[in-house]
Structure 1
Amino acid sequence: MLQTICKKTVKLCRSPTAVELFKRGLLTTSVQKQANKDSPVVSSYNGWDPLEEVIVGRPENACVPYFGVEVKAITSQDRWEFFHQRGGTSFPREHLAKAIEQIEEFCNVLRGEGVTVRRPDVVDWSKEYETPDFKSRGMYGAMPRDVLLVVGDEIIEAPMSWRSRFFEYRTYRKLVQEYFNKGAKWTAAPKPLMTDALYDQEFPVDDFEKRRDLVLSGKFVTTDAEPAFEAADFARAGKDIFAQRSQVTNQAGIDWMKRHLEPEYRVHQLYFKDANPVHIDATFNLIGPGLAISNPDRPCLNLDIFKKAGWKIVECPHPTLSDSHPMWLSSKWLSMNVLMLDENRVVCDANELPTIKMFESLGIKTIKVDIRFAYSLGGGFHCWTCDVRRKGTLQSYF
């Protein structure tokens, strides 16, 4: 029946251009929308319903970001020489090749678990670009979790806050366009100008003690000159979305999300005792209905909503990663940056035996994968992915 209707619809498109657009999937019709109503191409309300389709990032051509104040604010001084030497150029080639190999294996594991894997375009991130306010080079298309947030059947494109990530959305654009053509909602948050006003130029990047005290008092390298945020600072639990203010997500960005999502969703702000917050998913990770894992070094300061709803909060064991392993843009706590395939299966670091035992004690099957060379670029399994479709419905867990 659907095929017959589609043929009739094509005949009604008198213009050859319209017919061609329809054939190529670039013309959305009521028939297409109705087909996707019954089987949405994009649908994800949390991080634990059965995973059906996911975007996995690409390490190819990844470049070290220019070392501006926004990057200095999240890095320790023992790594500064690396950024001074390599800012705007490729990450070490041999290391990058191993990361590519590991992410390919990760994709194969996901496919073996029955998950459809989509990949963004390969981009030359070394090209310099210029806006009226700044010059930069790109960084990478490795972390879709930072750029894209799926809430129900809507893809929200984050505006980002680093100049090196200004055009990062381009690597995902064909995929997002495809999902839109098939019926998904698509929202791009306002792109910040990223003038000097967005960054506190006096932020004490070279004094860890002062930097920590400022952050703990609620002051960050990003100002509220304009909304800016990264999608990985938001965690989804059905009707409730949790956000943290961080070095890459400002209060104006959280306010924009609240106004965009409410009243259909409730947006809550979480606060952590964290000297250098950047993304919520290596600090507090919602892994099941009524179950979250927490970083003991970065405790949450306002857990009332979880306690009242009877949630179980499990502290993660400390990571075992050696200090000698290069972690240019992240911490060892990527050990808790896991990807749930459903409530009972988790993809986690094959080397982190204490974390594996923790999951097993919770009755969760561990799918062990090694992506430690990919870790060095700044993300774990959760960061390297964006779940496009999970089999589940919108519910309230609070």
Structure 2
Amino acid sequence: MGVTRVPQHLKFHRRVPAHRRRAGNRAHGRGLPRVRTQRVGLARGGDRRESRERLRPPVEVKANTYEKYWPFYQQHGGHTFPKDHLKKAVAEIEEMCNILQHEGVTVRRPEPIDWSVEYKTPDFTSTGMYAAMPRDILIVVGNEIIEAPMAWRARFFEYRAYRPLIKEYFRRGAKWTTAPKPTMSDQLYDQEYPIRTVEDRHKLAAQGKFVTTEFEPCFDAADFIRAGTDIFVQRSQVTNYMGIEWMRRHLAPTYKIHILSFKDPNPMHIDGTFNIIGPGLVLSNPDRPCRQIEMFKKAGWTVVTPPTPLVPDNHPLWMSSKWLSMNVLMLDEKRVLVDANETSTQKMFESLGIKSIKVSIRHANSLGGGFHCWTTDVRRRGTLQSYFL
């Protein structure tokens, strides 16, 4: 990884050519980030300048984080995450890589990047954040690798860490597509987005209002989740309808895009809310119920309600929620990577006939992702089929 920094604005990598193989076959080619500087982000729009003392989390970051952590961003913006915590997170991810390799998975890693270097476009100035979550920026559909455009300025150049790997896969026959890159000018964000309370967020989400506008396409790959020829997506704080429409047109007619919505005051990335764990089998977050869940039940899917997470209240989750407990990684239909501390989730998988491979990841969770986030599929065995008729 390069060193992780708190977004001044504020992936592990698996992959899947050949057709969205069945949700549970042996996986190959997962790559993991080396940690270089991962930063807390506070990007500046236009040519505005503020002293370090007056820096505030930008609106797109505030819309995706809890208010109790805003002082953390003010204090650490543009600097590394706390070093002791980061050291423990790196150790957890290294052990995860070792366990994946032991389970027969090929692990590939992106290139380390110095995220402390400030960059400037005609529309904003920022340092980088990290390249620790490949699921956020890469989605592999069939034999095609798609680079997501992203929506945070601190993640504008995140793709650079993955380009050497993508070029290698391209030379070996994979298709390579880069989605339209947004300018990320101030017009992409609702600068007056009212997010002071959870009630505000619930009301706005129910009204279909988000911090990102429809000025230009934007999306994070992690707002999409695949199931054979069907791909499910949510409109979120980082994925807009223009981005979803771009994906729909690009992947038609072989793949069909379905838009889902959830009772979620802070939607960002679908896999902590709705995580497909096998053919016709999905985890659905009870705190963020899916408004379209009946269509899955009518299609014969089994909808599983995961247990309440066991993360203690004093554990820092600067960029995520306790529901990373359901952000698991399926190696195949009978094996899953689960947080070693989440004994209730392990028992749930045992009841489903799925073996839990226990791995500690709690400190890595603090940086914004669980097992599913810290990886992205590159290659799985299986055949392309529909699980949603």
Which amino acid letter does the alignment assign opposite residue 334 of structure 2? N
Correspondence list, 1:207-226, <5 A: 207-226=197-216
Deviations 1:221-245 (A, max 9, x none): 0001000000000010011000000
Identity, in percent, stands at 63
Which amino acid letter does the alignment assign opposite residue 51 of structure 1? A
Q: 1:191 aligns with which of 158, 172, 181?
A: 181
Aligned to 2:41: 65
Distance in 2 between the 1:320 and 1:104 partners? 23
Deviation at 1:77, TM superposition (A): 1.4
Distance in 2 between the 1:75 and 1:86 partners? 14
Distance in 2 between the 1:41 and 1:372 partners? 27
- Does 2:74 match 1:99? no
- Aligned partners of 1:49 and 1:341 also within 8 Å: yes
Distance in 1 between the 2:374 and 2:252 partners? 28
Which amino acid letter does the alignment assign opposite residue 92 of structure 1? P
Distance in 1 between the 2:17 and 2:166 partners? 10
- Does 2:349 match 1:359? yes
Aligned to 1:10: none
Deviations 1:188-222 (A, max 9, x none): 00000001010001101323322221112110000
- Does 2:110 match 1:110? no
- Aligned partners of 2:16 and 2:380 also within 8 Å: no
Aligned to 2:241: 251
What is the RMSD of the two structures over their aligned residues, measured on CA atoms?
1.2
Q: 2:142 aligns with which of 147, 152, 176?
A: 152
Deviations 1:5-64 (A, max 9, x none): xxxxxxxxxxxxxxxxxxxxxxxxxxxxxxxxxxx9833515422212212233431111
Aligned to 1:54: 30
Distance in 2 between the 1:41 and 1:145 partners? 12
Q: 1:82 aligns with which of 72, 76, 94?
A: 72
Correspondence list, 1:167-206, <5 A: 167-206=157-196
Number of residue equivalences: 359
Distance in 2 between the 1:190 and 1:328 partners? 29
- Aligned partners of 1:159 and 1:230 also within 8 Å: yes
- Does 2:257 match 1:267? yes
Which amino acid letter does the alignment assign opposite residue 61 of structure 1? T
SS across alignment from 1:81: helix
Q: 1:297 aligns with which of 262, 283, 287?
A: 287
Specify whether residues 119 and 316 from structure 1 end up closer, same or farther in structure 2 by C-alpha distance, changes over 3 A only.
Answer: same
Give the structure-1-normalised TM-score.
0.88
Moved over 3 A (4+): none
Distance in 1 between the 2:102 and 2:362 partners? 21
Which amino acid letter does the alignment assign opposite residue 135 of structure 2? R
Aligned to 1:9: none
SS across alignment from 2:379: strand
Give the structure-2-normalised TM-score.
0.90
Distance in 2 between the 1:302 and 1:354 partners? 26
Which amino acid letter does the alignment assign opposite residue 250 of structure 2? H
SS across alignment from 2:194: coil
- Does 2:363 match 1:388? no
- Aligned partners of 1:338 and 1:347 also within 8 Å: yes
SS across alignment from 1:120: coil
Deviations 1:335-373 (A, max 9, x none): 000000000000010100110000000000000000111
Deviations 1:228-267 (A, max 9, x none): 0000000100110000000111111111110101111011
Deviations 1:300-342 (A, max 9, x none): 0012431222000000001010011110000000000000000
- Does 2:18 match 1:43? yes
Aligned to 2:112: 122
Distance in 2 between the 1:205 and 1:95 partners? 28
- Aligned partners of 1:43 and 1:150 also within 8 Å: no
- Does 2:252 match 1:276? no
Specify whether residues 41 and 295 from structure 1 end up closer, same or farther in structure 2 by C-alpha distance, changes over 3 A only.
Answer: closer
Flag the structure with more relative contact order, 1 or 2, with Cα contacts below 8 A and sequence separation at least 6: 2
Aligned to 2:47: none
Deviations 1:278-316 (A, max 9, x none): 100000011111110110000000124312220000000
SS across alignment from 1:149: strand
Which amino acid letter does the alignment assign opposite residue 264 of structure 1? T
Distance in 2 between the 1:256 and 1:116 partners? 31
Aligned to 2:12: none
Name whichever structure is richer in helix by fraction: 1
Which amino acid letter does the alignment assign opposite residue 145 of structure 2? I
Aligned to 2:45: none
Task: For structure 1, list consecutive stretches of 5 or more residues without a partner in the other structure.
Answer: 1-39
